[in-house]
Structure 1
């Protein structure tokens, strides 16, 4: 009998916000005379927009509902990418479906900023991803602060950008990131150390775990990419880890909760709840996680509630 108890507070599809540059009508050309910054993921797109305001046109390539590991762009978007004044990407192997276009733009001399170069990169903690670097740094707000600190001078040095305005906005946004970090620390401090065990449908919370003293017990999808698929052996190992850790709540990305439930239900009768989290993409405004700060606060509340003493 399947005794999973899914608890989904939002009927959400993992998605994206901050598509400030038009990707359908605007990619073929634009009359906008502002500097153009092309950003790979919508999480970074939101961060960049908070720093530059309306002074810069921000073209976020990752659309709502896209997977950062596999999303692709149109030929028109790729052409406009090569005419950008700056490209901001995540790096660390995240943009698997976009990398060829990022490389082509770099070869044509488009300046680029790779966020992963500004963070303390961690390896995946799981043996099934052993040897690979983890690109999901944004789950630790302190790493996002490091990215902001490195990106601001680059933005300030762009032609046509009001450096004073960027400095002012970045100081304000940095303060919001610091407040988020403090909120997360306080929320997670209430979870007993023995219960700080995370199981997800793929490895995405390594940085959060490292910063806030969680254990990553396992993930349904092996490795660090959603392009992989779990084997029967992977699922059996995960079930054993769940039982040994006494995990009562599993966290699934909002785009794939059913897949997680079904995969584990086929493998064993494990009595756990499944809670949705927003992990690799922002949502539409009505989707529950329209910006980075909100996404992190929602996830923090759900993790703290799901792992709280009962």
Structure 2
């Protein structure tokens, strides 16, 4: 009986190391889960590019909701905190995210590595309107520059986000880059069917300068003569643009699908000529199933809409 009691009793000196090992294992797992690599992205267009590059190698958090306006969207307190705790913060730059810039600067000041994509892909300046001479942030309308953006994203993720598989990230970037090459070829071929005398664009605001420069279009003007949707046109602005529309013989006005096209409709009436108002996806992706849930879908849809709008009549 004495021997039996001794066998059933385990010395506390033996139990304590076992408990410590178990606690260390649990704590290690928890710490690993809490420190999963994190990339925070401001706009949903950049978010889609980043997710294609990062894949499953890190957590990608996109701040801007589908259908939102990058010029006016804001972030919550938890989102601002996530920006300052990220391993990498990706933003457009060039003044696009007007309400988020101070949070980007706060994250940078706290030591978070940041990538201002638009500033790193040979940015253009506006050539007309109130924003003339200022940097144009809408580089994503040119898939060739987006191809360069993907290369930059891959490089920064590998360099700054610890714990990712560099080979996997680079492979993702190369695969997606090939898709972007295919997009560029398809856009070039489609726009090639638009006669030279019809390659004229009027949009809701100045957003397609990069596309026009890449594929040989002329931007006649914009209903809102600015690079931001936060501006508004005066009566004289509308009158001047209506005159330009008449002179150029523009067949369609392109308005962002996420914004009311009231101003474009007003210009249509002011111009005194019969023009179509064609919706485009210019500054934001949409929820799934609404036509532009990814960057590739958005640009293919826009290419089709622009081509048809300028050649259908």
**TM-score band w.r.t. shorter chain:** 0.7 to 0.9
Shift of 1:128: 2.7
Which segment drifts farther, 109-118 or 293-302? 109-118
Cross-structure match for 2:217: 214
State whether structure 2 residue 188 is matched by structure 1 residue 198: no
Contact 1:288/1:295 (<8 A) preserved: yes
Query: Separation in 2 of the partners of 1:143 and 1:100?
Result: 26
Cross-structure match for 2:249: 246
| Offset from partner CA, 1:152-189 (integer Å, 9 cap, x none) | 11111221100010111111000000000000000001
State whether structure 2 residue 125 is matched by structure 1 residue 123: yes
Cross-structure match for 2:147: 145
Shift of 1:80: 1.4
Normalised by the length of structure 2, the TM-score is 0.87
Cross-structure match for 2:259: 256
Cross-structure match for 1:22: none
Cross-structure match for 1:10: none
User: Runs ≥4 in structure 1, deviation > 6 angstroms?
Assistant: none
Shift of 1:31: 5.4
Secondary structure of 2:202's aligned partner? strand
Query: Separation in 1 of the partners of 2:272 and 2:63?
Result: 41
Query: Separation in 1 of the partners of 2:248 and 2:312?
Result: 14
State whether structure 2 residue 151 is matched by structure 1 residue 136: no
Contact 2:202/2:222 (<8 A) preserved: yes
Contact 1:46/1:292 (<8 A) preserved: yes
Cross-structure match for 1:17: none
Shift of 1:298: 0.3
Contact 1:35/1:85 (<8 A) preserved: yes
Q: Which has the larger radius of gyration?
A: 2
Cross-structure match for 2:79: 77
Higher percent of residues as helix: 2
Shift of 1:32: 4.8
Cross-structure match for 1:233: 236
Structure 2: stretches of 5+ with no match in the other structure: 1-31
Query: Separation in 2 of the partners of 1:268 and 1:172?
Result: 46
Normalised by the length of structure 1, the TM-score is 0.88
Query: Separation in 1 of the partners of 2:273 and 2:106?
Result: 48
Query: Separation in 2 of the partners of 1:75 and 1:93?
Result: 21
Contact 1:90/1:116 (<8 A) preserved: yes
Query: Separation in 1 of the partners of 2:154 and 2:204?
Result: 34
Cross-structure match for 2:112: 110
